[in-house]
Amino acid sequence: MAEMLTLEAFEEASLKVKEVTQETKLIESPYLSAQTGNRMWLKPENMQRTGAYKLRGAYYKISKLSQEELDRGVITASAGNHAQGVAYAATHAGARSVVVMPTTTPLIKVERTKGYGAEVILHGDVFDDAKNRAVELAEQEGLTYIPPFNDLTVATGQGTIAMEIVQELPLVDTILVPVGGGGLSCGVSTFAKLHNPKIRVIGVEPSGAACLRASLDAGHVVKLPSANTIADGTAVLEPGDKVFPYLQQNLDDVITVDDDELVACFLDMVENHKMVVENSGLLTVAAAKHLPAEGKRVVSILSGGNMDVITMSSVVQNGLIQRGRIFTVSVLLPDRPGMLVRVANVIAEQNGNVIKLEHNQFVSTNRQAAVELRVTIEAYGESHKAQIVGALDAAGFKPETVQTSL
């Protein structure tokens, strides 16, 4: 395993990728430090050119191709971020690029990949479907296939992130790294251990696509039957067999994170750091809250920020509901003038903000006895929500909390 992933190779890759990457200096996070009990820093690869770390591995890999390979053109499969990295790197090298993407890929990633000069083909529901099609086209058209993660040269390029982390924070204790197919975690963990074996590197997977956790438990690469997660960039069925031995050797642990945790973390990043981070990039933020509070120096790698507006809107709404900042109550009222005003006054007295009303006169056959009023309310959080609901109950309205629909 020492054949390719060496300190010399990482140093060469670091110098090479600087030709196209932007500097993503560490951001200390007092908010997350207070939340976790550790000293937290963020490595904001969401601010990288093309919006993700993937440019590093793609550019380094393409820089190692022969002129004959470049002349034939390159092809890859990707859920989006690697696609943009390959497209950008190939255009920079003057080569044709073809990218096969799952049909579920967010529109923003498709359009940006085209914008960087690639020909895009949509195929299949998950990455593995797209990969199989890309391999077929590579053979048919003589294109050079650029693996998104199962390649040691690509992994070396991704590992330049770890080199930058230790240069800026030499005493880092723990690095949290997102895991999809394993290229990023392979590069980061291998460099970290070569540089300083005491640095802990922890991989983070979505619980709905935890292929590395399953593989490590089995002792060999395991292919999941399906992947179901909002972290689309890490919705991979199996880790790469070429990078897996490095992951076995160099990762200290793997944490799995539920999708609901990512929704809350999106709000944390927007409100406290003014940054848009895609769901896969939020894995490490969520995982930081699973670590013991020991005052350690912890770096969370934010792997990307390419999120389409529709997904963003959905995540924000669900995050606000999840944290009790938007909620809906149902009250039954006699159909008499002034009842709506009474309910509104109670909410106003508690500093709640009404954002939607639904008045249903047909909930009962006796309208004089009861009509239903559903009120969607904005609050400061769970304690304020409880205060408003309590005030409505004390006023005799017997509120029931129901599912919010915005």
Q: Which residues are catalytic?
A: 54, 303
Query: 194-205 burial string, b = 16+ CB within 10 Å, else e?
Result: bbeeebbbbbbb
How many other C-beta atoms lie within 10 A of the C-beta of residue 121?
15
The residue among 21, 240, 68, 73 whose CA lies nearest residue 147 is 240
- CA dihedral of 189, 303, 106, 247, whole degrees rounded to 10: 10
φ, ψ (nearest 5 deg) of residue 74: -125, 160
